[in-house]
């Protein structure tokens, strides 16, 4: 078995009194793509938002249980440092509208006040954009505003921005739900490439997508982890009836 990079123990997440994630225990293997799949509103997004402690920023929201990043309890760490090690890409592309493409990629350093020499930042920008398969499209107009790009390009820009911080894990929260099929295919291709260097956690309600890109799949239903296993096994021989019903389109 592969080594585990992120592990949760009895993780529950609440909005006020409403429990949306219910005692999830999960081990995410390193350098793999793990998909968290389930119908809308089952707590997928909330679950991964606990991994980088973004969940707790919403007023009224809180989490219980443990999350370990390489054995370290993230709820005992400084959230700011965790977020630099666990990057995130959101449902809708959200490049910084006041910044150029170049500044968007380097934003994690700039906004944090980390000083870089010109050549260092040039290297980071180029490598990150190459990593996000966007370099060839934007290399000639890096000083344009990031918001002039198409939706799919903006999403890859956001991936580049997260990659620039050189994270251990990249959380992808339905990164293709706002994109057309072509741009989606591009991102899925990219996910394949990225797992060589970074562990990916992908949230989707798209069963086919989960099947195409992931090594492991977790099926979440009503906040509970129903089943977790290698994608192929889970898709072909689900152990739980609810997983089977979801996969065969009985609900969701």
Partner 1 sequence: MSRERIRGRVIKDRGFTGVVVLLSLLSIVPLVLILIYIVSNGISSVSWEFLVELPKPVGEKGGGIASAIIGSFLLVLIASLPAIPLGVSVGIYLSERRGARISSLVTLAVEVLHGTPSIVIGIVTYLWLVIRMGRFSALSGGIALGIMMLPVIVRATEETLKLIPDSLKEASLALGVPYHRTILKVIVPAGLSGIMTGILISVARIAGETAPLLFTAFGNPFMNWNIIKPVNAIPLLIYNYATSPYPEWHVIAWGASCVLVGLVLLLNVGARIIARRWKVQF
Of the candidate spans 33-41, 61-69, 96-104, 185-193, the one that interacts with partner 1 by CB under 8 A turns out to be 96-104
Q: How many positions of this chain bind partner 1 (CB under 8 A)?
A: 29
Cβ atoms of 95 and 158 closer than 8 Å: yes
DSSP class of 145: B
Nearer to partner 1, 169 or 183 (CB): 169
Cβ atoms of 24 and 221 closer than 8 Å: no
Interface with partner 1 includes 161 (CB under 8 A)? yes
Cβ atoms of 55 and 13 closer than 8 Å: yes
Q: How crowded is residue 99: how many other Cβ atoms within 10 Å of its Cβ?
A: 18
Nearer to partner 1, 108 or 238 (CB): 108
Interface positions, 196-215, toward partner 1 (CB under 8 A): none
Among 82, 160, 169, 210, contact with partner 1 (rule: CB under 8 A): 82
Nearer to partner 1, 199 or 231 (CB): 199
Interface with partner 1 includes 112 (CB under 8 A)? yes
Interface positions, 15-54, toward partner 1 (CB under 8 A): 52, 54
Interface with partner 1 includes 166 (CB under 8 A)? no
Least distance CB 24 / partner 1 (angstroms)? 21
Cβ atoms of 190 and 133 closer than 8 Å: yes
Nearer to partner 1, 73 or 192 (CB): 73
Nearer to partner 1, 83 or 205 (CB): 83
Nearer to partner 1, 106 or 191 (CB): 106
Interface with partner 1 includes 147 (CB under 8 A)? yes
Q: What's the rounded Cα separation, in Å, for the pair 94 and 91?
A: 9
Interface with partner 1 includes 177 (CB under 8 A)? no
Interface with partner 1 includes 98 (CB under 8 A)? yes
Q: What's the rounded Cα separation, in Å, for the pair 162 and 13?
A: 24
**C-alpha angle with apex 96: 37 to 88, nearest 5 degrees?**
25
Cβ atoms of 10 and 65 closer than 8 Å: yes
Q: CB under 8 Å to 230, separation ≥6 — which residues?
A: 215, 216, 217
Nearer to partner 1, 43 or 95 (CB): 95
What is the chain's length?
Answer: 252
Cβ atoms of 238 and 226 closer than 8 Å: no
Among 88, 101, 138, 225, contact with partner 1 (rule: CB under 8 A): 88
**Torsion (CA) 113, 117, 123, 126 in degrees, nearest 10:** 60
Q: What's the rounded Cα separation, in Å, for the pair 45 and 119?
A: 37
Interface with partner 1 includes 111 (CB under 8 A)? yes
Interface with partner 1 includes 81 (CB under 8 A)? yes
Binding site for partner 1 (CB under 8 A): 52, 54, 57, 80-84, 87-88, 90, 92, 94-98, 107-108, 110-113, 145, 147, 158, 161-162, 165
């Amino acid at each position: 078995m592969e080594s585990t990079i992120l592990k949760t123990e009895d993780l529950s997440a609440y909005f006020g009194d409403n429990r949306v994630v219910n005692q999830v225990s999960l081990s995410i293997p390193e350098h793999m793509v793990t998909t968290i799949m389930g119908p809308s509103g089952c707590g997928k997004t909330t679950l991964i938002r606990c991994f980088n402690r973004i969940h707790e920023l919403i007023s009224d929201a809180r989490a219980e249980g443990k999350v370990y990043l390489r054995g370290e309890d993230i709820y005992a760490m400084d959230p700011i440092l965790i977020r630099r090690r666990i990057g995130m890409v959101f449902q809708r592309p959200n490049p910084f509208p006041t910044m150029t493409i170049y500044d968007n990629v380097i934003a994690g350093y700039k906004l944090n006040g980390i000083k870089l020499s010109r050549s260092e930042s040039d290297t980071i920008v180029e490598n990150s954009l190459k990593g996000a398969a966007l370099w060839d499209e934007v290399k000639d107009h890096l000083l344009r505003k990031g918001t002039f790009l198409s939706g799919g390009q903006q999403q890859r820009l956001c991936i580049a921005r997260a990659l620039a911080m050189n994270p251990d894990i990249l959380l992808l929260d339905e990164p293709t739900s706002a994109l057309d099929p072509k741009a989606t295919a591009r991102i899925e291709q990219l996910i394949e490439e990225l797992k060589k260097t970074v562990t990916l956690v992908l949230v989707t309600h798209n069963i086919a997508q989960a099947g195409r890109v992931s090594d492991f799949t977790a099926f979440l239903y009503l906040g509970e982890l129903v089943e977790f296993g290698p994608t192929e096994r889970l898709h072909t021989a689900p152990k739980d009836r609810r997983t089977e019903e979801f996969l065969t389109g009985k609900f969701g």
